[in-house]
Structure 1
Amino acid sequence: MKDSLAVLTDSAGWLATFAAEHSLEPLPGVSPDDVTAFPFVLAVIDGKLSLKQTGAGSAGPVYVDFTAGASDHRRKFGGGKGQQIAKAVGVRGSFLPHVVDATAGLGRDAFVFASLGCRVTMLERNPVVHRLLADGLQRLQQCDDPELAAIGARMTLEQGGEQGGEQGGEQGGARDWLESCAADSCDVIYLDPMFPSREKSAKVKKDMVAFHHVVGMDEDADDLLPAALQACIYRVVVKRPKGAPHLAGKAPALELKGKSNRFDIYTKKALPKG
């Protein structure tokens, strides 16, 4: 990561410290459009911490914004409690589980859970993605819309789910965090590890190339499942591409299948009646 990502330190005072902590190249006084020696930059762009690919023809920046765009559209028109993802984590009636999203990424699914009324604890190992998520969460919690701010108040980003170091591998920080939990202490644990696509048609969207480059693939994600099963009360839910193998080679008790993804559900205890 340190050879491909630079930090534009003039865009926010704390970014110089962040660059030093993670051995990233600081670039003071430089515009993202002028960077040529690094394929990606981290900078504050239009008030949002952003990860941007450099070079001619590159896509726009990747950032976390829960107050507009796809996240807000999904909140309003995504189907509410009728969505498969809601059914997978056990949202029904008045029962709203506390969900630990152990591979939070950009927080998109975590925001869905919180918008349904669930309390959500997010873990994210990669330090760059962790900072992107923290920035988006802060803006959500401080926004003027009371409904959105209330959703943000139900979302917590744990520092314990972050680790420095090389790209890839969600399991280090998240696994350690889960293993530190008392047995049967988390209602539902949700896992969505990065999975390498083998389908030529399933190309990564251009604006997500930077994100996938920084995060890498979770080749060690199998290690998360035993820790999650130990820590959960009711179930572990694993989101997978439709044709992907089961995590850790373990068949789930239930599956919910969609057009391109499925939810593998590992049950431990019956859900309360809602």
Structure 2
Amino acid sequence: MIITTGDRPLTEVAARAERLAERLGVPYAPRGNQSITKLFSRYEGEILVVLLEGTRLLRPGRPQLQFHPSMGFVRAKRVLKGEGDPMLEAAGMAPGDSVLDCTAGLGSDALLFAVRGGERSRVTALESSLPLYALLAEGMASYASGIGEVDAALRRINVVHSDHRSYLASLPGDSVDIVYFDPMFREPLEDSAAISPLRAYANSDSLAPGSVHEAVRVARKAVVLKEKRGSGEFSRLGFAEQLRPGAKTSYGVIRIDDRS
């Protein structure tokens, strides 16, 4: 992977891109008059393009992936209006709660947790794919939604490049209020311009029982799993499915107070 910018970047954007490359230990390629095609011919792997307000991830033969909170932005606006959200309700999240999002993706769910949690909450989002981590970390730091509360929530999220199993194992017991999993569905429910390109980069491994065991050890309030409605993953991993009328997805919950 390399880091570059768009055409004729502002000095501050080029500086951000160079700092990101240094932090990740990957090459920084000043754009100059080079086309993306030319950059692909000179470097192997993905190209992360740092923009004034966001990031874009490119790979030969794949659709581009641009950072955008997608439906997370729509849901965040509803939460700011005082409306409910099924994920937050399943998690039993209260303002100030800490959350570990083990499968960050494009950060839509982490954004919801940060909005509901407010300034006193601590939301950590894990991403094991380095290209996705770079897209997410830089995107959350620079994306401008036009709503101050949403942008502030994005900036509060601590994005960490790590697989969830090793990160969970490093934490002391009862150290996070809520642990959340949203693994990539084996078969997509529907095509989505925001989600479909994500499949080229995201970790497609199924969730392991050992990860759930570690999550239960770490969580103080609940461990939550998002899956297809009626998925056998809920029973396989020990979650109580919370059915929602008419919904294609469900949330499974392990309440820590219910542990035997």
TM tier relative to shorter chain: 0.7 to 0.9
Q: How does 1:124-143 map to 2 (within 5 A)?
A: 124-139=127-142
User: How much has 1:45 moved relative to structure 2?
Assistant: 4.5
- Structure 1 pair 216–184 and aligned structure 2 pair: CA distance change class (3 A): closer
Report if aligned partners of 1:99, 1:188 keep a CA contact under 8 Å in 2.
Answer: yes
User: How much has 1:206 moved relative to structure 2?
Assistant: 4.5
- Structure 1 pair 227–248 and aligned structure 2 pair: CA distance change class (3 A): farther
- Structure 1 pair 33–252 and aligned structure 2 pair: CA distance change class (3 A): same
Q: Write the distance in 1 (CA, Å) between the matches of 2:104 and 2:141.
A: 15
Report if aligned partners of 2:40, 2:60 keep a CA contact under 8 Å in 1.
Answer: yes
TM-score (norm 2): 0.74
Q: Write the distance in 1 (CA, Å) between the matches of 2:146 and 2:212.
A: 39
Matching of residue 112 in structure 1 with residue 115 in structure 2: no
Query: Which residue type is aligned with residue 139 of structure 1?
Result: S
Report if aligned partners of 1:41, 1:54 keep a CA contact under 8 Å in 2.
Answer: no
Q: Write the distance in 2 (CA, Å) between the matches of 1:223 and 1:27.
A: 43
For 1:168, the equivalent position in structure 2 comes to: none
Q: How does 1:86-101 map to 2 (within 5 A)?
A: 86-91=88-93, 96-101=96-101
Equivalent position SS for 1:115: helix
Q: Write the distance in 2 (CA, Å) between the matches of 1:112 and 1:267.
A: 20
Give the alignment partner of residue 13 of structure 1, picking from 15, 18, 26: 18
Q: Cα RMSD over matched residues?
A: 3.5
Equivalent position SS for 2:257: coil
TM-score (norm 1): 0.71
Point out the more displaced range, 251-260 or 175-184.
251-260
Query: Which residue type is aligned with residue 47 of structure 2?
Result: V
- Structure 1 pair 136–254 and aligned structure 2 pair: CA distance change class (3 A): same
Matching of residue 263 in structure 1 with residue 251 in structure 2: yes
Q: Write the distance in 1 (CA, Å) between the matches of 2:21 and 2:158.
A: 25
Report if aligned partners of 2:4, 2:47 keep a CA contact under 8 Å in 1.
Answer: no
Gaps of 5+ in 2: 7-16
Equivalent position SS for 1:188: strand
Q: Write the distance in 2 (CA, Å) between the matches of 1:31 and 1:7.
A: 14
Query: Which residue type is aligned with residue 125 of structure 2?
Result: M
Give the alignment partner of residue 42 of structure 1, picking from 35, 48, 55: 48
Q: Give percent identity, aligned residues only.
A: 25
- Structure 1 pair 101–207 and aligned structure 2 pair: CA distance change class (3 A): closer
For 1:212, the equivalent position in structure 2 comes to: 199
- Structure 1 pair 46–97 and aligned structure 2 pair: CA distance change class (3 A): closer
Gaps of 5+ in 1: 1-5, 164-172
User: How much has 1:134 moved relative to structure 2?
Assistant: 0.9
Q: Write the distance in 1 (CA, Å) between the matches of 2:51 and 2:20.
A: 13
Report if aligned partners of 2:145, 2:151 keep a CA contact under 8 Å in 1.
Answer: yes
